[in-house]
A = this chain, B = another copy of it.
């Protein structure tokens, strides 16, 4: 789904939920849907400030919570440096994370759900989701 479609999808979803579409809220969602770098809350806030100088970080967090609760935003929690967000593909998927520069890269291995299903076959668990981060050095940080 392209960015514009995804933005419209979320807007429509919020409308159906009776949520108000304030300019700040729409601007925040737009950044979250367009930014491919898995931004932090503060990074989103910084981008919003350009167009809405009075916007507060609290509003960014409230909008993030709104999207999380609607299943439209994937949160990647890092205990130390806070969370990063993926609003482009809000379902669980593995990420490659460079320990050198901090870059987070999406991966979508084929049959990954099958691998999980097979791994957990004898556990009796009813699987709901996962968190899979692979840490390493990206090509340019290896130099």
Residues of A within 8 A of B (CB): 75, 77-80, 82-83, 94, 96, 98-99, 105, 107, 109, 115-116, 119-120, 123-139, 142
Contacts and interface: CB of A to CB of B under 8 A. Distances in A.
Contact of A138 (B80, B124, B134): B124
B79 A83 contact: yes
Nearest to A118: B109
Contacts of A75: 79
Which applies to chain A's interface (DSSP): helix, strand, loop or mixed?
Answer: strand
Contacts of A123: 96, 105, 107, 138
A112 to B, nearest CB: 8
Nearest to A92: B135
B133 A131 contact: yes
Nearest 6 Cβ contacts at the A-B interface: A77-B79, A124-B139, A125-B136, A127-B136, A131-B133, A126-B137
A94 B119 contact: yes
A2 B125 CA distance: 27
Contacts of A129: 135-136
A99 B115 contact: no
Given A77-B79, A77-B80, A142 B130 contact: no
